[in-house]
Each structure stands twice: as structure tokens, then as C-alpha cells.
Amino acid sequence: MAIFVSMAKVSLTLLPGIARGMRVLPDSVHSEVVARITNHLLKGQWIREQLADLHGKRFALHLRDTGTELRFEVAGTRLVRAASGGQPDVTIEGDLHDFWLLASRREDPDTLFFHRRLALKGDVATGLLVKNLLDAMEFDADAHFRAVLGERAGAVVSGAVSRLRNISGALQRQP
């Protein structure tokens, strides 16, 4: 039995529940939660510093299948929930599943845009900058653990996670 569940199983199990929740709660709640999670995950990542190029820009993620629109503004190197009202500089539209594929790195942005599963509206230059940042994003778990926990504790946790991945991989390869 594998310790870790595959991303495909997670998406099949969790996404329907997430979609139902997105239809019930106000968009501002989702925007706030996503901004906080994103800011936490960006700790220790090189992409965080790149956000400064987007300072003051507003963008929205429109989830067609849930009717949800998450609105954000870049403030320095942080993502914050944008105040209601006003037009975003750029909007990216798609279904929840496609955004999940993008976030979990199971699909790259170019493929999703080329197949018109994601659409970009608004300021093209800002949209391309956002798309290129998403495309270049590689999550560095070691750097994240060190940024959040400190150098010593981060190294310990990073080593433990690495060992768990190795054990999980070995268990999955067994007949």
C-alpha cells in the first residue's frame, strides 16, 4: 500500500467537493484563502521576488464551471485579495480542473492556452508576464522548508520528506 496518494486520485476525490464549496461561499473568501496559501507557498521561492515586476497589477481567475471569480492584486512581493469593484488588468478563464492541472504542474500553461482550456483577457503584456511566471515556476521544497522553519529545522524536515518519497516510490514499484 502506497503512503502517498497520486495527484490524479486527489483531483478526482477532492475537486467535486471544492467545486460545491466554491458555489456556496462568497468569491472574496476564496480569494483571501488562495492569496494566503499562495503567499505561504512562495516563501523561499525565487518567483516571489519576480512578483515585484507586477506590483500594483490586478488580476482575476474566472472559473467558468463554478461561476467563481477570484480577484487579486500584487503588493510588492505578496499576493493580496483585491478589493471588490474595478476591472482587473488581466483575467484568466478556465475550469476548476484545468486550474488544478496547472497548479499541480500536471499540465503546462502553454498547452492549456493552446487547447483553449484557459483563456487570457485584458492587458496582454501583463497576461504574458503572469503566464511566463507560471510556466517557469518550479517549487523548491527544500528552500521553502528552510524559509519557513529556519536553516537547521528546514534541513531536517527536507531530509525526512525525501526519505518518505523514496520509501513511497519503492513501495509503489513492488508487485
pLDDT digits (tens, 9 = 90+) for 43-69: 999 989 989 999 999 999 999 999 999
Question: pLDDT tens, 17-37?
Answer: 778 777 888 889 989 999 999
Q: In this model, does residue 170 exceed pLDDT 80?
A: no
pLDDT score at 3: 39
Judged against a pLDDT cut of 90, whether residue 137 lies above it is answered with no
Give the pLDDT confidence of 102-135 residue by residue, as tens digits.
Answer: 887 888 888 998 899 999 999 988 888 887 787 7
- Choose among 112, 119, 115, 79: nearest CA to 98: 112
CA distance 80 to 152: 30
> Do 55 and 129 contact (CB within 8 A), yes or no?
no
Q: Where are the beta strands (DSSP E) in 64-155?
A: 68-75, 78-81, 90-94, 118-122
175 close to 9: Cβ distance less than 8 angstroms: no
Q: How confident is the model at residue 167, as a pLDDT? A: 86
Helices 141-149, 151-173: axis angle to 10 degrees equals: 140
Task: Provide the total of helices (H) and of strands (E) in the chain, helices listed first.
Answer: 8, 5
Alpha carbons within 13 angstroms on the beta-carbon side of residue 70 total: 23
- pLDDT of 95 higher than 50: yes
Polymer length in residues for the chain? 175
